[in-house]
Homo-oligomer: A and B are copies of this chain.
Amino acid sequence: MKKILNDIDQLVEDMLNGMVAAHPNELKRVPNTTVLTRKKSPESGKVGLVSGGGSGHEPAHAGFIGDGMLDAAVAGEVFTSPTPDQVLEGIKAADTGKGVLLIIKNYTGDVMNFEMAAELAEAEGINVKSVIVNDDVAVEDSSFTTGRRGIAGTVLVHKIAGAAAMRGAELEEVKLVAEKVIKQVKSMGVSLSPCTVPASGKPGYSLGDNEMEIGTGIHGEPGIERTSIMTAQEIASTLFEKINHDLDLASGDRVSLLVNGLGATPLMELYILNNSLSALLKEKQIIVVDTIIGEWMTSLEMSGASITLLKVDDELEDLLLEKADTVAFKRGV
């Protein structure tokens, strides 16, 4: 394992300090926690948005703190959900009196820790609601009750719920629009090579020289199939088919696209993938209203990419295109 770091035990600490050092006007730490929050808190009267999860997905989640997206992000150890006491600190930092929405990715650990935190916050008199993102269509099994994982689609939930909150919506409304996104957002990824959790020192799985895996999760959870390496075109159509099995898009439908690199895949390849994907959508007369491309929900240095499609209506499109000014994601500023 070769990584640029100092002390493996201080990894998250060092990262958070490095973030604040890089963005001193945008971010601040809540002392003695792993919570980052806005440097200047939003005016009271705005619903607070809190997200978070294990570290190793940067810029998720703290990179999305700022106008039009999140108010606080809680970082766990690498690929490990943060604990309830930390999430509680995040909730407190984001609350301006109008309540807080927790955006949780659907992993057992995240759900339990965030829900325990919500219980603690309620006990302190803060109005907390939560939504659980489960956009990864790789997982599908009726005998399977854990449900689908939350992956890159989470970024669009941040964006749209964040826009609604910025415009002054009430907690219940923000929650409803977040749930609307969650219903319409579907993702799936492929991995070409694994990543290594620093504390473990070994890659999470191995892939042959000519192998790739379809449907890998953002923590290296196994996907649905191993195949030999596919072309960009084949990847685009394989992922699209699986996503569209759920979305059932028809000619004339409008979608927003997120092409997400998992960490080590060059932007060049993401654009090539997008070229294949957008040709495919054009052929099916599906209208792409917006494309976000880059690294947004990574898995350390995993190589591979995921595709996210969100079927939009006027409300979602409008909120999606609303301006945002965060550390990692800026739009129309």
Residues of A near any B CB (own CB < 8 A): 2-6, 11, 14-19, 21-23, 55-56, 58-59, 63, 192-193, 209-210, 212, 229, 231-233, 235, 257, 259, 263-276, 278-279, 288, 291, 293-295, 298, 300-301, 303-305, 323, 325, 328, 330-333
Contacts and interface: CB of A to CB of B under 8 A. Distances in A.
Contacts of A232: 4-6, 14
A155 to B, nearest CB: 14
A271 B2 contact: no
Contacts of A294: 328
8 contacts: A4-B272, A4-B305, A6-B233, A14-B276, A21-B278, A22-B257, A59-B267, A332-B333
Given A229-B2, A271-B19, A298 B55 contact: no
Contacts of A233: 6
A274 B5 contact: no
A331 B333 CA distance: 8
Given A11-B272, A275-B14, A333-B332, A4 B58 contact: no
Nearest to A55: B268
A15 B278 CA distance: 12
Nearest to A332: B333
Nearest to A300: B266
Contacts of A288: 21
A300 B19 CA distance: 24
Nearest to A333: B333
